[in-house]
């Protein structure tokens, strides 16, 4: 696996699954290599995965248990390699301690969730910037727009382009925790109409998106050489 780096998107839901226990939740998995898996997951299994994600946010050392649970449901391969890559970045000895009251950390484990959130890669961000620039200078060529749209959507659906950096955008409410060189940090994201941006350098981990009957919520868990919240 190229750099053992992985990005996984999993479709589930943001409200309790148990009330619809007889319904399966469709699960989509995207890996760094570009492979996509899709299968139905029982509602109670989806709830178990979500509980593990929430426990990982409370205790980042729960991350391996989360990855093994995803593997148990056939949603993730090469878990041993992923765990090794994560702790190569974050280190094996982690202690929760008071740190800076900002989301700036390095060589860290991190986990979080965001309602109405998504991940952009450097290529898609550059495309957005260039599109905006040409719009501002009055060069709204339809051909140019088509080129920008094509590049943007190709970049979004090609997970391997996420390295070496990614941008996690949270447009709604959420929470982000990290544990690394600058201690333990916990940031609540308010739904104030202004999106929050988290830059992830050398990201290794998973992104889990729950979608069910119109509800959407994304969790991200893994390790990064650096995370900066804006």
Cα separation, 58 vs 38, whole angstroms: 29
**What was the pLDDT predicted at 18?**
43
In sequence order, the β-bridge partners of residue 224 are 108
103-146 residue pLDDT tens: 899 999 999 988 888 777 777 777 777 777 777 777 667 777 77
pLDDT digits (tens, 9 = 90+) for 83-104: 898 888 887 655 544 444 468 9
- Residue 140: predicted pLDDT: 63
Beta strand 196-201 pairing with 204-212: unpaired
- Number of Cβ atoms within 10 Å of the Cβ of 67: 26
What's the predicted TM-score (pTM) here?
0.71
Contacts of 32 (CB under 8 A, 6+ apart): 1, 2, 3, 5, 6, 7, 159, 160, 162, 163
Tokens of 127: 């495309």
Instruction: State the DSSP string of 23-57.
Output: SEEEEEEE-TTS-EEEEEEEHHHHHHHHHHHHHHH
pLDDT at 7: 44
CA distance 209 to 50: 10
pLDDT number for residue 108? 92
Q: What is the pLDDT of residue 227?
A: 93
Full pLDDT tens readout for the chain, 230 residues: 333 334 444 444 334 444 445 577 776 666 555 556 677 788 889 889 889 999 999 899 899 999 998 889 888 888 898 889 888 888 765 554 444 446 899 999 999 988 888 777 777 777 777 777 777 777 667 777 777 777 766 666 555 545 567 788 888 888 999 999 888 888 888 877 778 888 888 888 888 877 766 667 778 888 889 999 87
The domain segmentation of the chain, as residue ranges, is: 2-122+156-229
Spatial separation of the C-alpha atoms in residues 209 and 174, rounded to whole Å: 13
């Amino acid at each position: 696996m190229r750099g053992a780096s992985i990005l996984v998107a999993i479709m589930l839901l943001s409200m309790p699954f148990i009330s619809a226990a007889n319904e399966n939740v469709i699960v989509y998995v995207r890996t760094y290599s570009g492979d996509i898996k899709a299968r139905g997951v029982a509602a109670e299994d989806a709830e178990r995965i979500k509980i593990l994600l929430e426990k990982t946010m409370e205790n980042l050392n729960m991350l391996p248990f989360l990855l093994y649970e995803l593997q148990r449901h056939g949603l993730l391969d090469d878990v041993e390699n992923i765990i090794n890559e994560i702790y190569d970045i974050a280190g094996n000895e982690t202690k929760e301690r008071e740190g800076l009251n900002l989301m700036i950390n390095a060589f860290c484990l991190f986990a979080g969730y965001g309602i109405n959130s998504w991940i952009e890669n450097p290529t898609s961000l550059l495309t957005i910037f260039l599109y905006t620039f040409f719009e501002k200078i009055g060069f709204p060529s339809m051909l140019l727009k088509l080129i920008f749209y094509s590049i943007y959507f190709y970049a979004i659906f090609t997970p391997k382009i996420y390295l070496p950096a990614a941008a996690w955008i949270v447009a709604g409410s959420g929470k982000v925790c990290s544990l690394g060189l600058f201690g333990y940090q916990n940031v609540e994201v308010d739904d104030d109409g202004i999106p929050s941006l988290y830059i992830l350098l050398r990201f290794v981990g998973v992104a889990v998106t729950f979608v069910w009957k119109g509800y959407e919520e994304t969790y991200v868990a893994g390790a990064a050489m650096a995370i900066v919240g804006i």
